[in-house]
Amino acid sequence: LDATHLGLMWQRARARLPFPIQLSQFNLLGSHDVSRIRTALNNDLAHLKLAITALFTYIGVPCIYYGDEVGLEGDNDPDCRRTFPWNESDWNEGLLNHYKKLILLRKTSNALQEGGFLSLYATGDVYAYARILKHQSVITVLNRGEATTVNLLVWKTGNRKSFTSYFDGQEIQVIDDGLELTIPAKSSLVLVST
């Protein structure tokens, strides 16, 4: 499934639901009925972080199946119902910190809680979208492939000045209503309007 088809699939799903329902839809990456997301992705933590980023920045309510936040593995039912690993040395700290950062952003961003959705870019392995509420906007860029550079026209987000990269704090200036972004392989960017 390339970015174009992902965008069309998400667009069709949103089109079937009134906006208030979109905001309250229950989004998850795993449950007690399917294999754990880490297992389904063959322990590819880079792709797992991409999925988590999408979960927390997409429209709807992100939900976490217990243990996913620390990297619990498990195949199809009943293996996906393993007990929680209470020994913290068994936790994947990098994964847990990624969840914590995105939870904090979700809790503090009105654009992610109530904002509309705007697709900005969908080509090959890169998909970018914005969540917009009044003059606030959060842009998410997902790259499941090799490192690449993309140009995003962001004037529709209402922000024509600058964004801050949420994960590293770097300020990125809007030039000619756009952003030129270099995205490392298998990574995501989350940009918050300033």
Cα 101 versus chain centre, distance: 12
pTM over 0.85: yes
Alpha-carbon span 190 to 192, nearest angstrom: 7
Q: Do 35 and 174 contact (CB within 8 A), yes or no?
A: no
| Residue from 3, 5, 9, 84 nearest 50 by CA | 3
Residue 36, Ramachandran bin (φ over 0: left; ψ between -120 and 50: alpha; else beta)? beta
Alpha-carbon span 52 to 32, nearest angstrom: 18
pLDDT tens over the chain, length 194 residues? 899 999 999 999 999 999 999 999 999 999 999 999 999 999 999 999 999 999 999 999 999 999 999 999 999 999 999 999 999 999 999 999 999 999 999 999 999 999 999 999 999 999 999 999 988 999 999 999 999 999 999 888 887 789 999 999 999 999 988 999 999 999 999 999 98
